[in-house]
C-alpha cells in the first residue's frame, strides 16, 4: 500500500491494533524486524508501527521476500486451525443430518473443545451450531415432504428423533403446520418481498404466523417461480410493506466473516438464508404482516 493515502494506512494500522478479523483478506502487514507477514487479526505480539509495512495481498508480500506467519496462516488460500475446524463442522452437519448430532460429536470431528467450538462457530458463522443444524434439518424435512413422503417418514429421514421433537423444532419455522405445507400451502396467504444482497437477489416469504421461505438466486422471476412451485395451493402476493423489513434484515445479515468467502457459493447461501430466517423470526405476527408501524 505504498501509494495509498496516510488515512488508508492509518485505518489499516487501527485494524491491526484491534486484531480485526473482518479485515482479514483485505491486506497483510509485515514486521520488517522478522521478515514475517501476518493477517490483521494475528494473535501474535504486534510490532512497533515504525517497523511495519502494509501490503494489499499476500502475493505482494511474498514477491518482496517476506514469509507467511505460521500462526495465523495469512496466505490467500490458507486457513487457520480454527477456520479448518469450523469448515469441518459445517461439512459434517451437511453430510450427517439423518444422524444424531451434538456439540460433543461436532467437537470430536472438529478437534475443538465443545466450549471453544460453540464460541468460534458462532463468531465465524454468525449462528450457533444448533441454529444452523436446526435450519438444515428443517430444509431437509421440507424437501422430503415436497417429494411426497409422509410427515412421519420425513420426520425421521430428516433426523428428528420423534414426532414430538419435530413439532418442537419446526414451530414457527414453517409458517404453517406440516400438513398444510404438505398440501402446498392450501388455504394460506403468503406475502413475499425481494431484496438485493451480495450473493444475489433474495426472496423472503411469510404467512401470518412466520417466515415460510428464504430463497437466494440470480433472477427475480425464477425466485417467484420457485416460491409458487413450493406453495402451489397458496395465495401468493407481493407486499411492499414487508419489503422494508426484509431490506433491513438482509443488510444486517450480509456482513460475513472472511472464512465464509472461501466456502462454496451454495454453503454461503445456506448460511446467509439461515441468518435472515433467524433474524426475521424475532418479529411478532403483527410485525410480520405489517399491521403496525
pLDDT tens readout for residues 6-17? 788 889 999 999
Residue pLDDT, tens place only, 211-246? 999 999 989 999 999 999 999 999 999 998 888 888
Looking at the chain, the whole-number percentage of residues with pLDDT higher than 70 is 94
Q: What is the mean pLDDT of residues 241-256?
A: 87
> Binning pLDDT at 50, 70 and 90, where does residue 287 land?
low
How does pLDDT run across 57-72, given as a tens digit for each residue?
Answer: 999 999 999 999 999 9
Confidence of residue 4 (pLDDT cuts 50, 70, 90): low
Cα 75 to Cα 59: distance, rounded to the nearest angstrom? 8
- At residue 272, the pLDDT reads 95
Q: How confident is the model at residue 288 (pLDDT cuts 50, 70, 90)?
A: very low
pTM above 0.85, yes or no: no
Q: According to the model, what pLDDT value does residue 292 have?
A: 41
Fold of 185-288: Double Stranded RNA Binding Domain (3.30.160)
DSSP result, the chain? -TTS-HHHHHHHHHHHHHT-GGGBTTBEEEETTTTEEE-TT--SPPPPGGGEEEESSHHHHHHTT-EE-TTT--STT---HHHHHHHHHHHHHHH-TTS---HHHHHHHH-S-HHHHHHHHHHHHSS-HHHHHHHHHHHHHHHHHHTT--HHHHHHHTT-SSHHHHHHHHTTTSSS-HHHHHTTSTT-EEEEEEEEETTEEEEEEEETTEEEEEEE-S-HHHHHHHHHHH-TTSEEEE-HHHHHHHHHHHHHH----GGGGGS-HHHHHHHHHHHHHHHHTTS-HHHHTT---
**2: pLDDT confidence band, cut at 50, 70 and 90?**
very low
User: In the predicted model, is pLDDT for residue 285 greater than 70?
Assistant: no
Assigned CATH topology for domain 6-68: DNA Methylphosphotriester Repair Domain (3.40.10)
Domain borders along the chain are: 6-68, 79-171, 185-288
pLDDT over 90 for what percent of the chain?
Answer: 68
Q: Is the pLDDT of residue 171 over 70?
A: no
pLDDT in tens, 134-161: 999 999 999 999 999 999 999 988 888 7
pLDDT of residue 125: 95
Average pLDDT over residues 198-213: 92
Q: Is the pLDDT of residue 250 over 50?
A: yes
Architecture of domain 79-171: Orthogonal Bundle (1.10)
Tell me what the mean pLDDT of segment 262-279 comes to.
92
The larger pLDDT score, comparing residue 208 to residue 289, is at: 208
- On the question of pLDDT at 286 being above 50, the answer is no
**What is the pLDDT averaged over residues 262-290?**
78
Do the domains at 79-171 and 185-288 have one common CATH topology? Answer: no
Mean pLDDT along residues 40-63 = 93
Mean predicted lDDT score pLDDT of the chain = 89
Amino acid at each position: 500500500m505504498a501509494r495509498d493515502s496516510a488515512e488508508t494506512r492509518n485505518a489499516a494500522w487501527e485494524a491491526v491494533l484491534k486484531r480485526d478479523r473482518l479485515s482479514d483478506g483485505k491486506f497483510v502487514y509485515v514486521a520488517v524486524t522478522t521478515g514475517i507477514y501476518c493477517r490483521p487479526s494475528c494473535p501474535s505480539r504486534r510490532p512497533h508501527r515504525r517497523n511495519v509495512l502494509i501490503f494489499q495481498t499476500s502475493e505482494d508480500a511474498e514477491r518482496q521476500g517476506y514469509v507467511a506467519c505460521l500462526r495465523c496462516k495469512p496466505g490467500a488460500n490458507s486457513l487457520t486451525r480454527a477456520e479448518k475446524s469450523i469448515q469441518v463442522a459445517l461439512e459434517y452437519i451437511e453430510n450427517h443430518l439423518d444422524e444424531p448430532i451434538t456439540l460433543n460429536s461436532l467437537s470430536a470431528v472438529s478437534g475443538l473443545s465443545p466450549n471453544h467450538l460453540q464460541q468460534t462457530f458462532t463468531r465465524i458463522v454468525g449462528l450457533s451450531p444448533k441454529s444452523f443444524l436446526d435450519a438444515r434439518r428443517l430444509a431437509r424435512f421440507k424437501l422430503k415432504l415436497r417429494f411426497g413422503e409422509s410427515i412421519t417418514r420425513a420426520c425421521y429421514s430428516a433426523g428428528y428423533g420423534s414426532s414430538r421433537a419435530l413439532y418442537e423444532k419446526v414451530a414457527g419455522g414453517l409458517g404453517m403446520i406440516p400438513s398444510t405445507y404438505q398440501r402446498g400451502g392450501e388455504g394460506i396467504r403468503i406475502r413475499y418481498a425481494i431484496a438485493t444482497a451480495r450473493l444475489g437477489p433474495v426472496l423472503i416469504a411469510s404467512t401470518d404466523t412466520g417466515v415460510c421461505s428464504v430463497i437466494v438466486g440470480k433472477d427475480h422471476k425464477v425466485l417467484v417461480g420457485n416460491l409458487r412451485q413450493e406453495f402451489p395451493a397458496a395465495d401468493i402476493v407481493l407486499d411492499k410493506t414487508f419489503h422494508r423489513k426484509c431490506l433491513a434484515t438482509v443488510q444486517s445479515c450480509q456482513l460475513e466473516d472472511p472464512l465464509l468467502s472461501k466456502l462454496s457459493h451454495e454453503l454461503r447461501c445456506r448460511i446467509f438464508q439461515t441468518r435472515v430466517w433467524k433474524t426475521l423470526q424475532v418479529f411478532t405476527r403483527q410485525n410480520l404482516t405489517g399491521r403496525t408501524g
